[in-house]
Structure 1
């Protein structure tokens, strides 16, 4: 067919093909992005940095301290605290994925992040956030069995089952992150490299992509939606059964103990899923960018910060273990 066309026509076709190839090449040349971060005035930079630095330090110390407490006290070597220790680990992971980079961006004028760093941060965030969803559902099921079937609890929640549930939570988070991060590599970025967020999240990347992100959005709807529905339903069904079981009890002391055990977990679940659902369920709007950053700040920075406080203050066993540890160290 090429042999039949005039020389000029063939030349034009060649130029168009070359131009398209150059466009595709240029579309993939954007390998650095700018994180705009939180909106704040210049005079608020230092106070904001100090505030988030203190929150991050307390988050790390609180969660790692809770892990150390659970590991050192043999009385806490039961499924409930095994899951709690892993939740503290995931909270540390989630906070460390987002906060250090945000602190650097607050102080420095250059807010650049490479494509590889951006993808790594996005991958780490999805793994930790998804794993936390599975862990919260697992903890709800554990409390349901413990309160509704206390006599059968040791036979149901065996060490083997607990390890399987923990491994499944982390593997589920890993596979979920691999799916979304893999689909991110099909996107090209040519129009803009400005990410209106304080970390690399999937949704802000869609907004600056030159490639149609419809397939990526469909994957989020299918997989993220399924995970959230499954874990939320598990929590709701588990605690509905717990509530009915508690109301059947005649002992006031038993009711108080059950509410004390489950109260911290319910509070943590509500605080975590509230902003997460509000962010993804709310229809898009012009103000969605700023609101999304506030929601993201809540479950990436604030929740990991308050979780160890919630579980420590509302859990008698943890408080008693902490007192014994402090007393033992003071005597030494």
Structure 2
């Protein structure tokens, strides 16, 4: 089935009035972001050539290629996703991304905190999907529904319905050979995550988290990674970078955004920003302004 046919199916299912029918056209590099809800980010991006240099984030990145070929390096191999295929990138996995052909690339993606996936699955440890590119009509349909209406909020009911469906899809494709691991102390882990989020601009050390959790730093590190897909330090850095993005979108200067959010200076912030998002903060602001 060609992508033109898939666009028609999307329109017949009600996606046309929400703007998905225009996704068969590419007008230039840019990123468009939906309002963040429950910690979930949704974006639409289009690129000619390279989009992102190697980077990693602390969320699941789940999305759909809509036009062109999406090529990326992941776990030591070259990958490619064609229109209608699902992409699944695990937390803290290094990857890049860009257009694989001269026709350019358009895709939509959701960035979901891993603890929300674990909670949707009954507080199990995280599902592990071996292949980053999947062809599955159920998964694709769930993503189309979740990635519509980028201009508006989804609302609580739709957010958690989508989470339940997407978590079930991830679980269906997960590697069942992986050990389930020990039970996690979710109330304590949530306290730690909330503390890191609320005090992101402050200097935080292991002793602070030990005081909050009552766990030694090694037990906390192991459990935190199992629940959130990343280390407490990476989680803290990503919360700081979230604040930086908000500041930049509101017109704050780079140096001001850095010092206001716990970074030593602009260079320190920029280095972490590129490692997390695959581009400099200045480039990110430029691309967002291009589709604003």
Give TM-score, length-normalised by structure 1.
Answer: 0.28
> Which one has more relative contact order, counting CA pairs under 8 Å at least 6 apart?
1
Of Structure 1 and Structure 2, the greater helix share is in 1
Give TM-score, length-normalised by structure 2.
Answer: 0.31
Of Structure 1 and Structure 2, the greater strand share is in 2
